[in-house]
Chain A
Amino acid sequence: MSKYIPQEEIISDKAMSDKALAEQVATLPVEMTPERDLWSGIERAINHKNQELTINKQRKLLMPSAWAASIALVILMSWVTFSPSINEESAPVLVETQEKNGVTQGQLVNFMQQNFKKQKQTLLASYGQPTVDKLPAAMQQELTQLSDARASIRKALLTDENNADLLNLLDFTQQQELKLLQQLYRQYQVI
């Protein structure tokens, strides 16, 4: 491969020797062949980089959505926590505070009952007065059970109107029924 510098060039003087070196440099091969196959590694790295690029792009797209979702969630949580809602309007608070307000237990039960009916009417009106019989059978059964439970508690309160646990239980049952109705009609809005 390599060539010897002609001795005459080297012997004569330093300048010739430099020239000979330069000529040797000019004969250096432009190409060399690597021993191992380099392409497979390059291909792997390229594909990996492409994947990273795709993931980064997706992340860039997801970030605003994630922020928006987080903000919406915070707003929703704040609204649920601080705004008066169906859940908070009634009984635990009423039950706890009724003694302070000088309301008798019987009056309270009636008030709770009326309040519940009003909320239920409002709720059903907001969904266009749907009929329960169009709900799936299982749901209808669950609503019936809750209604029965409510009736049983009311009945028990007639004999033991000072029972705070029963009052709380009535309130709880009413709220559960309202929640269930809300969920069901949201889910089956076609009804």
Chain B
Amino acid sequence: MDSQIRQDKKVIDLKARFSANKDHYSGDSDDEQLWITEAKQGSQAAFYQLYEKYHRRIYALCWRMLADKDSAEDVCQEVFVVLWQKINNFRGESKFSTWLHSVATNVVLGHLRKHKNWLQRVFSIEEQGAGVQDPSVSLTDDSTLTLLDQHIARLPERARLVFVLFAVEGYRHEEIATMLTMAVGSSKSQYHRARSLLKESLIANGFVSIEEEINHE
């Protein structure tokens, strides 16, 4: 139990460092403040500047949560359309990038709910077990993705969402539980499940071949 807590703490420390890097990168500059103000007044040119600055980051979030290029592109567009409509709600109480990420997360989850409802109506698919993939299944040949991203994409949906939101986006399990309408315990267990599956998948795909290495030695 203690070792588990230590492991989680390490992850959180790494996330904090990661977030610090992101914040350094996305600090609300004077230019950005100006773009936000002008976009609130209806300037599409200013809004385009915000899009230029953030769309790659939002696309990355969409891609990791949806694990599908086309859907990620569509939803990324939707995020910016929603942003245009809701930008007046941004009151500067948090960093713009933080607020934008929360908007994006909500849009992605909304998209997933709509999509899942439709799928469930048509095919009566149950998520449990349906998304688990054989770790030995070959990865996507998208060379623009890191190997880890390719493995994340192969996680079952709930585990993937929790993993991305917790480990990459830095949300707390309490927040994730609210967003995904699940118990905090479920969020934690999905996270651990994702971590185990990732390690298993990484090992199976050559990232790690401990036994082989040991045998070779």
Contact = CB atoms under 8 A, between A and B. Distances in A.
Is B a genuine binding partner of A?
yes
Interface of A: 1-2, 4-5, 7, 10-11, 15, 17-19, 21-36, 38-39, 41-43, 45-46, 49
A28 B169 CA distance: 11
Interface residues of B, number: 48
Interface string B11-25: 100110110011001
A170 B30 CA distance: 86
A7 B76 CA distance: 37
Contacts of B210: 7, 10-11
Given A15-B7, A35-B69, A42-B77, A49 B85 contact: yes
Nearest to A47: B44
B63 interface: yes
Contacts of A26: 14-15, 17-18
Given A10-B208, A18-B11, A24 B148 contact: yes
Nearest to B12: A22
Contacts of B202: 5, 21
A34 B61 CA distance: 12
B146 A2 contact: yes
B114 interface: no
A21 B57 contact: no
Contacts of B85: 49
A28 B149 contact: yes
B7 A25 contact: no
5 contacts: A15-B6, A19-B7, A22-B167, A32-B63, A38-B80
B118 interface: no
A20 to B, nearest CB: 9
A122 B63 CA distance: 83
B125 interface: no
B51 A42 contact: yes
B60 A31 contact: yes
